[in-house]
Structure 1
Amino acid sequence: MKKPMVLLAGIAIFCIIIPVLISVLFYGNQNDNLSDSIKKIDKLEKSPYEKVDSKSPTISVYNSKTGKVQSMDIETFLYGVLSMEMSSEFSEEALKAQAVAARTYIIYKIENNIKAGHKGADICTDYNHCQAYASYEELKEQKGDKWIGESYPIIKQAVDDTKGQILTYDDKAILPLYFSTSSGMTENSEEVFMTQYPYLKSVSSPYEENSPKYYTESTIDKSEFIDLLKNKYADISISKDDLEKQINIIERTTAGSVKLIQMGNKQLTGREIRSIFDLNSSNFDISFVGDDVVFEVKGYGHGVGMSQWGAEGMANKSYTYDEILFHYYTDTDIKDMY
């Protein structure tokens, strides 16, 4: 009786195992295929603008450090730009938004043939004029091997994931201005630079309280305050006595920055005051404490276009890079150039 029982047990086990194996092999493959499909859909959803796949163009770059013009692949150049313009610790979507903005800036310069200031090259490496840039070798020297190993691939990926993509308005590259930190709103371009761009409008920027420059204070002695004004404007009439009564903010921009301010007998712009007293932005209030003048400053930068810390805040709220860009650059589209 033992052998028949063993035989029956073997048959039962065989009947159980075979269907399981078939299920694993058949349905397992189906699941793998479904998983692949999901990955492909996710990839498409993350990069819906990749419509062209051609070689990236070569651009001419004036290196302000060496004083020489060199030819570079635009995407390689952008690795060095993004490395300098935004922290690698920022979120993936914020980095991708910055990569598109930086690429658009180069294309805008080329399309509009703006070569002044960099010896006829398409772009230069002076951040005061164009964009900050550092080569791979310079980054390695400045930031170290650990950063190159861990952070540089993140920067490179953000550029690669948006290859060829630029922001357009009426099918032309926009001037994609950006800055560090807003005070909760960005500025209308015409209120800061006297030139109106339809895509550089004031918008809310609510998610950037984590920026170290969101709020700062700058204190200066009243005597030094007056000296700095008189050094800049010899004909200004302002005195330490009753200084509070000689200063009055006349007008603010839509975003709250100082547009016009009365200083003694002169009306100055907020940008002029920012420059004279080296403030982080033109969005400030002035108070007086004893013999000191206190500037209470919100934000960092000119305030027009995309706030980088605002982009980071939006990314942390699960906004994608295109949503970030469309928020800060009104009525724009993303176009894949190559």
Structure 2
Amino acid sequence: MKKPIIFLMGTMIFCILLPVLISVLFYGKVEIATSSGTTKKIVQTSEKDPYEKVDSTSPTISVYNCSTNKTEKMDIETFLYGVVATEMSSEFSEEALKAQAVAARTYIIYKMENNMTQGHNGAYICTNSNHCQAYASYNELKKQRGEDWIKESYPKIKKAVDDTKGHILTYDDKAILPLYFSTSSGMTENSEEVFSAQYPYLKSVSSPYEEQSPKYYTELKVNKSDFISLLKKNYSSISISSENLNKVVKILSRTTAGSVNIIKVGNKELTGRNIRTIFGLNSSNFDIEFNGDTVVFKVKGYGHGVGMSQWGAEGMAQKNYKYDDILFHYYTDTKIKDIY
């Protein structure tokens, strides 16, 4: 009599626990912090990527390789292996790398959709990071980073690209201009406050996980005489001397994210970007202090500040955000579209 009772009780317990086990294994609730400091729960209903709707051959693109001065035909996904490997650290989390892969792919499609071939010898994309995207081939990566990196890190880069094959970001069903940069000061910039061009998806948003970036805060110290010399070298008509610098150098306005917008220097009004360029600062978000014979720039962030912060993306990934959460946070009102 005892054995049937034990069997019945075991069956009941199994039936009760089975839904819980399925829930844990396949649905996974994650509690995360929002930009306002509150928390919310994201429920992952499936491990399958909901954006994978098309499964066709990836296209071949023309790439102007700046290191060889030649235009090469490449599979777009193969090209992206070399882009993501050079644009983002392989030590970053998988979801951050996937977000980077989608942004990099979207940039190529944006250039193609808008027929942007200027300076590329007829190609839509080049390998100059100052103009388009950084890139290194498999052999170049192997030579630069060694056999161990190829074995341990390259598969991680490749997987991030492969897992998002064909995915791009769109706004009004068109590829966006997916700008990105290294590190913000806690907020990203409105595009119109930095580049004078307004894009509805490049809005200022909070970026709360930046402190781990090695370039979140930096200082640059310049001798007063060098400070004045560099300014006069770039603006010959500027009137400024070492006396009372703290009175004739004033920050007049800042952007929404805190970067210097207009700064008065002697008899001239310059932009924060002007000062950043002259002194090689990491960003335009800075304060200036005058200590004796030294001018101290206290700088937050690294890069232009528009679009996706790469270190912010890494911080979000560490907080269990998925790559689409990251992308939708930094690129306002966008959607992911699978194009091949």
TM-score w.r.t. the length of structure 1 is 0.88
Residues 96-124 of structure 1: per-residue CA shift (max 9 Å, x gap) = 00000000000000000011111110100
Match of 2:216 in 1: 214
Residues 179-210 of structure 1: per-residue CA shift (max 9 Å, x gap) = 00000000000000000000000000001100
Aligned CA RMSD, in angstroms, stands at: 2.1
Point out 4+ residue stretches in structure 1 off by more than 4 angstroms. none
Residue ranges of structure 1 left out of the alignment (5+ in a row): 1-14, 24-29
Equivalent in 193, 198, 201 of residue 200 of structure 2: 198
1:89 CA displacement: 0.3
Task: Calculate percent identity across the aligned residue pairs.
Answer: 74
1:45 CA displacement: 3.6
Distance 1:287 1:209 in 2: 22
Alignment-mate amino acid for residue 321 of structure 2: Y
Distance 1:43 1:66 in 2: 47
Match of 2:115 in 1: 113
Match of 2:327 in 1: 325
Match of 2:190 in 1: 188
Give the secondary-structure state (helix, strand or coil) at the position aligned to 1:144: helix
Larger fraction in helix: 1
Match of 1:63 in 2: 65
Alignment-mate amino acid for residue 215 of structure 2: K
The answer on 1:263 being equivalent to 2:265 is: yes
Match of 1:246 in 2: 248
Residues 56-103 of structure 1: per-residue CA shift (max 9 Å, x gap) = 000000000100001000000000000000000000100000000000
Distance 1:140 1:317 in 2: 32
Distance 2:47 2:197 in 1: 36
1:43 CA displacement: 9.5
Equivalent in 162, 168, 171 of residue 169 of structure 1: 171
The answer on 1:95 being equivalent to 2:97 is: yes
1:38 CA displacement: 4.4
Q: How does 1:256-295 map to 2 (within 5 A)?
A: 256-295=258-297
Match of 1:5 in 2: none
Match of 2:55 in 1: 53
Alignment-mate amino acid for residue 248 of structure 1: K
How many residues are treated as equivalent by the alignment?
Answer: 310
- C-alpha change, 1:244 and 1:47, in structure 2 (3 Å) is same
Asked whether the equivalents of residues 77 and 161 of structure 2 are also in contact (C-alpha less than 8 Å), the reply is: yes
Residue ranges of structure 2 left out of the alignment (5+ in a row): 12-17, 28-43
Asked whether the equivalents of residues 189 and 257 of structure 2 are also in contact (C-alpha less than 8 Å), the reply is: yes
Give the secondary-structure state (helix, strand or coil) at the position aligned to 1:326: helix
Give the secondary-structure state (helix, strand or coil) at the position aligned to 1:213: coil
Match of 2:33 in 1: none
Distance 1:103 1:304 in 2: 18
Distance 1:38 1:257 in 2: 44
Match of 1:10 in 2: none
Give the secondary-structure state (helix, strand or coil) at the position aligned to 2:140: helix
TM-score w.r.t. the length of structure 2 is 0.88
Distance 1:186 1:220 in 2: 27
Alignment-mate amino acid for residue 322 of structure 1: D
